[in-house]
Structure 1
Amino acid sequence: MSWFESLILGLVQGLTEFLPISSSAHLRLTAAFAGWQDPGAAFTAITQIGTEAAVLIYFRKDITRILSAWFRSLRDKHMRSDHDAQMGWLVIVGSIPIGVLGLTLKDQIEGPFRDLRLIATTLIVMGIVLGIADRLAARDEVGGKHRVVRERKTLRDLGVRDGLIFGFCQAMALIPGVSRSGATISGGLLMGYTREAAARYSFLLAIPAVLASGGYELKHATEGGAIYWGPTIFATVVAFASGYAVIAWFMKFITTKSFMPFVIYRILLGLALYLLVGADVISPHAGESGG
């Protein structure tokens, strides 16, 4: 991997990680269309550490408050009813599905799941799901004269059941093209949460999963020596900087705007990918190692 490739892939990772359009799909597509080798699941997982560092800094006040309350709740039973302490437990509960499925489906994630035809399908299908969820949210939030029709849930309404559903939605993002934020936000909107609440919990929920995945891949990469360390670290730093800017923009965007631009983009990209693969312009396995 060249330094130029790492720059572009780091930018792609940072710019797409927090938008509901799938960073893993865009990394895969960027490499395929540029004629580069697929960066692979290990590169994706390690560079995601950079984007999660951006989450840790952007939400540092929330995270510090949640961790403090959660640790105190381990000693003080009266703290267990505190909302921040409960959020700590709910992030743990919501992280269980992706932890179990990530280990179970590791071979598929690094192989068959990276087929461009599957990515095209997930881009379109999850785009439609996000569109439906967004329309339902808009119908609840705006009435005849911009009045609230039905009160939507906030994170204070989050319980174990909803936390697990969020977690299973996040686990769907193990398939490139689904999008971690897209799946969890869609699930949250369909369960009746506000856009802001669904996005915020999506970002918090990703922290343990991404850091664990990055650490796991980092350990194996160190043992196997099959990764270009300089370019990968550079890409991770680039992903951090661009990812932080995207978070700041996205959290402001969702307070007043709908997700429809992302829905349209996903569907058009998926259809274009189908056409290109169908016309043999690009192979469904383009850029894959050994393929």
Structure 2
Amino acid sequence: MEERIQRLNLFRKYFGEVVQQVFPHMGWSYLNLTSDEENKLIAKAGFKLRSEFLKGTKYHYTITKNFIHYTSVSGLLSILREGKIRLYELHSLDDPQELSYSTKRVLAETIDQTQLDKLKRAIFSLSMCEVEEEKENLKDFNTWRLYGSDGYGAGLVLAMEGDNYIEQISKVFYYEHELDDIKKLVNLSDEFMINESLIVENLYESLFARLLAFHKVGIYELENEVRLTQYMGNENYYYQTIQYDLKNNKERRFINKNLLSDFSERDPYELTIKPKK
């Protein structure tokens, strides 16, 4: 019993002196503690990354506006018919540097391509833009042309209610200096784990990668994107759907998020997403 308490206290020390130095409101959802042959503590933890746990950081996001999601006409018809909207895995998105760009700048050579590809298949994303004045956004031809079938697609306005989402939601960041918080966390973690004989074995997939997914190359800055992401871990193979994209000759994998079946009486082209209880 005493040894278990000591192990727990060491992880609490790591969490307080390292994680909460950068993300002061973050918590953990589960914790498994073991040790290796050299009696080094091995921890596996689930990090709480909903917006409420990211207060005081750039990743904290309060929903005060509606969003617009650009899609093709066939995509819109599918959404209306099924009452569901798709979150695509990062590996299926058009940007080949999704997660790769930010990971390489923060973790250099410590993450190999196999690990990176695995994480790109475990994180699913819905891309949106904030709506200030809906009519102005709907006339934003550049964005519509890029992401709405070359201007012949659809712009779907989404209204999100509440903030109790199990998914993450945040703005996307496009400058390298905006990675500084994660770099600081990585450096503090490395130093602590060496000095205290601790290994947090799922740190990259459970924490770092889920934040790095909100960083993209600067050439995409004009998107001004807000992302809703969900980390599926090893469960993604049970819930995902696979389709083949003939135009780009690639597989695209996605999960579905339910929408309300009824439309807003105020606005017939507005759909509402409610948080999970």
Shorter chain as normaliser: what TM range? under 0.3
| Structure with bigger gyration radius | 2
Higher relative contact order at CA 8 Å, sep ≥6: structure 1 or structure 2?
1
**Which is strand-richer, 1 or 2?**
2
TM-score by length of 1: 0.23
**Which is helix-richer, 1 or 2?**
1
